[in-house]
Each structure stands twice: as structure tokens, then as C-alpha cells.
Amino acid sequence: MNYEYTDEIKTRLRRIEGQVRGVLRLMEEGKSCKEVVAQLSAVRNASDKAIAQIVAENLQQCIMAEHAAGNDTGKMVKEAVELLVKSR
């Protein structure tokens, strides 16, 4: 099954990409460790939210497809939970 990524998640990832570029710029400008770490923390939080959104949307699509095919969706839910746990 090919997963369709939403424009919303793509926009979120582009925003994260911009944040990472901002961190690199701070480092190139010799900014303080505190400033760099604060921005990296924001990147991590944004990444965590993106991961959760991708897993949730993917799980929803997969469950609907599996249910329509008459298959058990329990295994899929378990795999999604494992993905979220591994991402941390």
C-alpha cells in the first residue's frame, strides 16, 4: 500500500528543515551553546509531533484498508505503537 502524505505534514517537515538551517546559521555565527540547544530542542519537539502525526495518519489509512479486506487490525495497531516507542 502506498501511503499518501498530506500537504500539512509536508509543510510541517519544511518548517523543521528551516529550523535546522537556522541552527546551522547560529553555529556558523558562533552563537552561544544555550541558543543552539534551545533551537535544537524546538527542532526535536517539532520532529516528535511530525512523527506522531505521520504514524497516526498512516495507521488510520492502513486500518481502513485492512478492515475493508476483512483482516485483523490488531497487529497493525501494535506495530504503530512500537514505531512511536522506538522514535523516542
pLDDT at 83: 76
pLDDT at 74: 80
pLDDT at 78: 80
Are 26 and 6 a contacting pair, CB within 8 Å? no
**Encoded amino acid at 70, one letter:** G
Q: Which CATH architecture describes the domain 7-86?
A: Up-down Bundle (1.20)
Per-domain residue ranges for the chain?
7-86
Q: Is the dihedral of CA 65, 68, 69, 71 positive or negative?
A: positive
pLDDT at 38: 97
Tens digit of pLDDT per residue, the chain (88 long)?
A: 677 889 999 999 999 999 999 999 999 999 999 999 999 999 999 999 998 888 888 877 777 787 788 877 787 778 777 877 777 6
CA distances from 19 to 2, 6, 13, 59, 79 (A): 29, 20, 10, 27, 30
Q: What is the pTM of this model?
A: 0.75
